[in-house]
Amino acid sequence: MAFDEKHTVQDWLVKRLVRLGWTYEPATHLQRSNTDVLIEEDLMEALVVLNPAIGADEERLDEVLPRIRGAVAAASTDGLVVANERLVTLMRGDVNHRYIGTPHDVPLRLVDFDDLANNTYVVSDEVVFGPPGDERRYDVVLFINGMPVVVIEAKTPVNSSVTWLTGAKDIADVYAPEGPSFFAPNVLCAATDGKEFHYGAIGQPATEWLMWGSTQDPYDLDGLPRVERSVDLLLTPQSILSILRDFTLFEDTESGKRKLIPRYPQVEAVEAIHERVINGGDRGLIWHYQGTGKTLLMGFAAVRLLHDPEVGDPTVLVVLDRLDLVEQVARQFKTTGLPMLKVAETTAQLSQMLRDDHRGIVVTTIFRFEDAGVLNDRQNIIVMVDEAHRTQEGSLGERMRTALPNARFFGLTGTPISHKDKNTFKLFGSDTDPGYVLNTYSMERSIADGASVPVHVETRLVEWHLDKEKMEAEFDALAQEEDLTEEERDVLVRKGGTVKTVLLNPDRITAVCTDILDHFTAKVAPLGMKAQVVAYDRDLVVLYEQELNRLIAERGLDLTTQVVMTVGGKDDKQEWKTYELTRAQEAVVKREFNKVGRPPTFLVVTAKLLTGFDAPIEQVMYLDRPLTRHTLFQAITRTNRRFTNPVTGQEKHNGLVVDYIGLGPAIAAALKAADPEAGGKRPVDVAELIPEFLARLAQTSQRFEGIDLADSSYEALMAAMERIKGQEQKAQFWRDFTGVQTLWELLAPRDELDEHEPLYKWLAQVYEASKPGKASEDILWERLGAKTLALVHGHMSNIKVTGTGLEEVIVDPGSIERLRKLAEQGKLDIDPERDLLKDPVTLEEVFDTIDARVQRRLKESGAHEVYKTLAEKIERLRKQAAQSASDTIEFLKKALDVAKTAVQAERLEEDGDLDAAVTLLDPNIGALTQIVNEYKPADTPIIVDDVVRDIDTIVKQVSYSGWTQDQGGDRTVRKELRQVLKKYHLPLTGDLFDRAYAYIRENY
């Protein structure tokens, strides 16, 4: 018997589904014809059981069956997704019907979600559908109450050219378009080849189907064990009904209606939130990797909570921290038809809704809680805070909790913070949850699942030469010419000696923009994808956009740019006005950016769109701005969204960050998992600190005795300034007020502080007024800033951008050739035919192959020193962090040297001369050995190893960094080298000394 799909995967799947609670019926036994979608006998039985009016008079079936049949048939005329939405609404019981002769509408129920035993669950295989001559055979179909809710395509596991994707494309591209009415009641579709299992919604391209699983399983679980888990978790009757009732939404898009079904981490998180609410818990933290659907998660959670009577008609508050996010989330929620949805656009609207006890969903921002006071003390107010690592630690978060004293708070974040005085874990997490996290969906799991793509980091070196001495001389001349004081010189040095000064260099801007266009046209444009350029600040944004446009025009490229930055502040430059966008205009830009073949190609930004911007079409981010921690993490993950070009079918296999600023260490820190125990606000002992605050407040205000501390006039302010006009008096006041301010920020807002707030604010105004002004510095910079910048830029030369050839920690092309040779020699377990440029060898592969070989040789050679030392070197390299671009290259060179040494050691061992390999462990020893052997007098009886060891030991002891540039160091090394040669009766001058000294000078 052949291992075909019917007798392998399909039969196995049916048996497993039966164990999960489905009843098997062969297709030939189903009470339906090949042109019927429904098993009407099963459906009618359910209608009688679930609808008392029909149970009392079964002739009423004739009223509702045509309505259901019509909804199914409409898939052929109105479109499949539109028809599916109607059927989902019917199947959920959200449609009413008034029976003939009755006065009221009553719900029409097709499925029992409360008592699952009242439904029939049938699995069948080889189900045929279609008119004679155009039939299609579906491998496995699941029916609930006679309605086909799941269609599964099974493929053979023994044909490498046929995979789950082949089956998914059969359903998405052939079966559903050709027979849409059969898919009108569909909950989801699936495909498996026994090695992988993927599922998707009707209308969803097969390439976008995802994997199911559990966050409790190993993230790299695959093969049959992963398929079994997927089937067991997703395809139970309970799971299918849960997705139908609580986890199915429909979104209106420009191209039509789209069905949305969940990913498994969304279901897990929603169920965890629901369970926490039902059990009386008041908090929870959801930590899901960027780009894995936290907005949709909140929508599903709202539906789940609103559908459950046990929650008690709740208010679900979705809190965001940016107005554009409110518009984005509200738009998606509205298009998905979420029930009882309102948007609180002002503080007054939010206050009114909560005081009026509005039930349903409210979308708002954290800023609407400013000075709100207590708004509602109900317990069944569930607050979901998106991007919970932002804005929640300070007074805004405190005021929100004051406004809703008994609410349940759930934070959602991809980048929890745990440093200094901020700790997202402890603010939202419960100490009963592992690591303070209610549900986690990690970066590794997301990438393994295909929910997001890996992000590679490609480092660029922006190099230049600085004539420091000449620049300093010219700066001194400028200072003398302008008769600057030391303080004024310091101002120019401080303002001119910044990162921005370097970045503003016009030659550097041209070099970077040229590299961006070269890279984009070669690597990104052919795929039909787009890019963001992140500049240092708004000045640089404008300069980059102008230079990119100049180069694009010069080359005649069909590319466009668009600046997105905040403009409109009173101190903003007039020329920035042209870049000002309303929120509506910005929304259009973001929408157009996400379209294939439409402008813009590049978004040029500095802060906007680094977070909360969902652009699957973005393949690359060109990063020329220092970023740190969670902001950097969120920025680089803009490129991690899955994307398939709808025109070409080209898939995004990875996102890419091209780093011009040297963010190696910062990226490493950003990717490091946050520690729940680190940072965060310390517990505040209010009873002890409030008296301390009041005492310090009284002490600080005592110096103003006799002044009306409630008077905010100019006269009162001047009177206060008179009391602290001396520099020492001023400094003492600043110290005293800083102590008051620290305690206030720690304690506020609290009722006990309300009566003292006016005095605190009065002192704060005096403090601000007494601080030294920047006007004089600004005037000086206005006068001489341009000259200072020109002076610096004039002495920066040979600016060039070079690629390191590295993506992540992937070996560069030069090293690839060395690896290819090692592989061809059979010394590394790497296929010599492998195309190493298209499929680069990673450092981990190098380590693994060498390490395995060394460990094996270590055992075989009786723990010879050569292999022990090589094993230690590999272990040190594994632990070494590759920080900057240059460090990374050096790191890789070391790894490849270890590889080469391992190969040479094996050759010597095969020749029976392993002891000679000891010189390989230290290249200096080997080189000096060769020099001594070559240049020692022929009749001198010495042991070369001893001579070399002595030279190496002595030189290492007396040399130091920079010794070759120092006369004393150079003299000492020469002297010690001669001492060793003298000890062994070797000539103190001539070729031996000269060659040995030249090598030492170059390599020690």
Secondary structure tally for the chain: helices H, strands E: 38, 26
C-alpha 213, offset from chain centre: 21
211 neighbors 101 (Cβ within 8 angstroms): no
186 neighbors 84 (Cβ within 8 angstroms): yes
845 neighbors 895 (Cβ within 8 angstroms): no
Global pTM reads 0.66
Q: How far apart are CA 752 and CA 567, in angstroms?
A: 40
Sequence-separated (6 or more) residues with CB below 8 Å from residue 570: none
Q: How far apart are CA 904 and CA 923, in angstroms?
A: 13
Locate 113 and state its tokens.
């979600």
Q: How far apart are CA 798 and CA 791, in angstroms?
A: 16
996-997-1000 Cα angle (round to 5): 90
158 neighbors 3 (Cβ within 8 angstroms): yes
Dihedral, CA of residue 583, residue 586, residue 591 and residue 594, to nearest 10? -140
Exposure string over 439-476, b if 16+ CB within 10 A, otherwise e: bbbbbebbbbbebbbbbbbbbbbbeeeeeeeebeebbe
DSSP secondary structure letters along 467-527: -HHHHHHHHHHHHHHTT--HHHHHHHHHHHSSHHHHHT-HHHHHHHHHHHHHHIIIIIGGG
Q: Is 705 helix (H, G, I), strand (E, B) or coil?
A: coil
- HEC-encoded secondary structure of 464-484: EEECHHHHHHHHHHHHHHCCC
Residue 482, burial from CB neighbour count under 10 angstroms (0-12, 13-18, 19+): middle
One CATH from 1.20.1410, 2.40.128, 3.40.50, 1.10.150 for 922-1003: 1.10.150
Residue 365: in which H helix or E strand, if any? Answer: strand 360-365
Least Cα distance to 122 among 150, 103, 98, 158 occurs for 150
Strands in 315-320's sheet, in edge-to-edge order, are: 341-343, 360-365, 315-320, 381-386, 408-413, 283-288, 439-441
The pLDDT score that the predictor gives to residue 374 is: 86
Sequence-separated (6 or more) residues with CB below 8 Å from residue 398: 748, 749
Q: Is 851 helix (H, G, I), strand (E, B) or coil?
A: helix
- The runs of H, that is alpha helices, within 795-884 are 813-824, 843-860, 865-879
The pLDDT score that the predictor gives to residue 796 is: 64
Residue 804: in which H helix or E strand, if any? Answer: strand 796-807
Which class does domain 262-449 fall in?
Answer: alpha beta
Residue 267's alpha-carbon distances to 212, 274, 291, 293, 998, in angstroms, are 11, 10, 16, 11, 69
Going by the DSSP 8-state scheme, the letter that residue 582 receives in this structure is -
β-bridge partners, 288: 441
Cβ count within 10 A of residue 498: 13
- The runs of H, that is alpha helices, within 339-410 are 347-355, 395-403
Q: How far apart are CA 294 and CA 641, in angstroms?
A: 13
Q: Is 716 helix (H, G, I), strand (E, B) or coil?
A: helix
Cβ count within 10 A of residue 377: 11
Q: How far apart are CA 69 and CA 109, in angstroms?
A: 15
Query: What are the mean pLDDT values of the chain's consecutive 10-residue runs (1004 residues total)?
Result: 65 95 95 95 96 92 94 94 94 91 92 95 96 93 98 85 90 95 97 94 93 90 92 97 92 85 94 93 85 84 88 88 69 66 85 88 83 85 76 64 88 70 66 85 80 77 67 72 70 68 84 92 89 90 94 94 88 88 89 92 88 83 76 71 84 82 55 49 55 86 89 85 82 82 72 85 84 59 67 68 51 40 47 51 54 59 56 53 40 52 58 52 56 63 61 64 62 76 72 72 67
Q: How far apart are CA 471 and CA 727, in angstroms?
A: 36
Report phi then psi at 303, rounded to 5.
-60, -45
Residue 331's alpha-carbon distances to 328, 346, 740, in angstroms, are 5, 17, 44
Q: Is 859 helix (H, G, I), strand (E, B) or coil?
A: helix
Helix-strand-coil split of the chain, %, nearest 5: 55, 15, 35
146 neighbors 38 (Cβ within 8 angstroms): yes
Residue 293's alpha-carbon distances to 287, 290, 612, 621, in angstroms, are 12, 8, 11, 21
For the chain, the distance separating the N- and C-terminal CA atoms, rounded to the nearest angstrom, is 71
Longest dimension (CA), the chain: 126
Q: What is the bridge-based pairing of β-strands 422-423 and 418-419?
A: antiparallel
Q: What is the bridge-based pairing of β-strands 381-386 and 341-343?
A: unpaired
When computed from its CA atoms, the radius of gyration of the chain, rounded to whole angstroms, is 36
Least Cα distance to 657 among 622, 607, 605 occurs for 622
Report phi then psi at 63, rounded to 5.
-80, -40
The pLDDT score that the predictor gives to residue 812 is: 36
Polymer length in residues for the chain:
1004
Which class does domain 459-671 fall in?
Answer: alpha beta
Least Cα distance to 970 among 936, 947, 1004, 924 occurs for 1004
Sequence-separated (6 or more) residues with CB below 8 Å from residue 547: 509, 510, 513
- Residue 686: half-sphere exposure toward Cβ, Cα within 13 Å: 7
